[in-house]
Amino acid sequence: MKKANQNLRVTKKTRKKAAERRLFPGLAAMSVADVVDRYKQAVVNIEVSKREPEKSSESSSRRRRGHPLPIADSFDEKPKRNTTNIGTGFFFDPRGYILTNEHVIHNAEEVFVRFYNQDRLMRAEVVKTSYKDDLAVLKVHPPKNCRTIPLGRSDSVRAGEWVVAIGCPLGLDHSVTVGIVSALERPIQIGDRHYPHLLQTDAAINRGNSGGPLINLRGQVIGMNTAVSASSQGIGFAIAVDQVKHVVRDLMSGVPKLRRRAGKGRKR
């Protein structure tokens, strides 16, 4: 009986791995450099012109005490001023659809993106946002041979797994940092937003990284870099990709589904 139970567990594990191979064919473990080379062109720099309230002294003191905050903060209402915000996004659909954090583009008057290795800014359309979930979908005219990053599964992520963050910290576009998944399922309250399913990572995340991908060594997005503890080093947070996918289905509800052309990729 014991041997039968062992065989059953092995069978379930084998089936799960086979299902993952069918879902993500050809995605074997890569080196960090391979991950960067394959997906750096899918990551974009985001620049936002917006109007927002002046920060109060109370919110500043909360920041000094080390409350983990995303790039956007909650402010006491005061006269508004023009500011420029920066962030990161990534192509998840070859038709030009980009994922990022809602707080990166919150109250935006204009949103621009910059592709890899290009100086020109391109205006982006805000397709739909979710303030509660801190997610947004943007749309641009895609570059030729638009590279996308596949959305993986966060329910199979393990603490200790190596991850790569690609983003635009402090405007330094397409910077790469590496770390591990430090913990899973971190629930955190930031201002009036509740994040129930955050991955914790020690990959360096700074201002401008928000909205960028956290990628495993199989080249799958497992989270969206979102927040960092201001009072310590090596404590960053990413929205788990299963949560991202759930919200994206709603954000893309009015967009026709991507149809693959029959026979695409076959040799003639």
* pLDDT computed for residue 83 by the predictor: 61
Chain position carrying tokens 């201001």: 230
**pLDDT given at position 103:** 94
Within the chain, where are the H helices?
A: 2-23, 32-39, 57-64, 102-105, 241-251
- Please work out, in degrees rounded to the nearest 5, the angle formed at the alpha carbon of residue 224 by the alpha carbons of 154 and 38: 90
Respond yes or no: is residue 76 known to be catalytic: no
Instruction: Give the DSSP H/E element, type plus range, for residue 34.
Output: helix 32-39
pLDDT value of residue 24 = 47
pLDDT value at residue 148? 95
- In the residue annotation, 210 being an active-site residue is answered as yes
Q: What confidence score (pLDDT) does residue 191 get?
A: 86
pLDDT of residue 62: 42
Give the model's pLDDT for residue 234: 82
Q: Of the residues 67, 106, 133, 134, which is catalytic?
A: 134
| Domain spans, the chain | 32-39+149-251, 42-139
Architecture label for domain 42-139: Beta Barrel (2.40)
pLDDT of residue 5: 57
Task: State both tokens at 230.
Answer: 């201001």
Determine the pLDDT at residue 55: 56
Which of these is catalytic: 67, 103, 106, 174? Answer: 103
Q: What is the pLDDT along the chain (268 residues), one digit of tens a residue?
A: 555 555 555 566 556 555 554 444 445 678 999 999 999 999 999 999 866 565 554 444 344 333 444 543 333 444 455 668 899 999 999 999 999 999 999 988 899 999 998 888 999 999 999 999 999 999 999 888 899 999 999 888 999 999 999 998 888 888 999 999 999 999 999 888 999 989 999 999 888 899 999 999 999 999 999 998 877 788 999 999 999 999 999 999 877 777 655 444 434 3
End-to-end, the C-alpha distance of the chain in Å comes to: 54
One fold for 32-39+149-251 and 42-139: yes
Q: Which fold has domain 32-39+149-251?
A: Thrombin, subunit H (2.40.10)
Is 103 part of the annotated catalytic residue set?
Answer: yes
List 154, 175, 182, 210, catalytic entry: 210
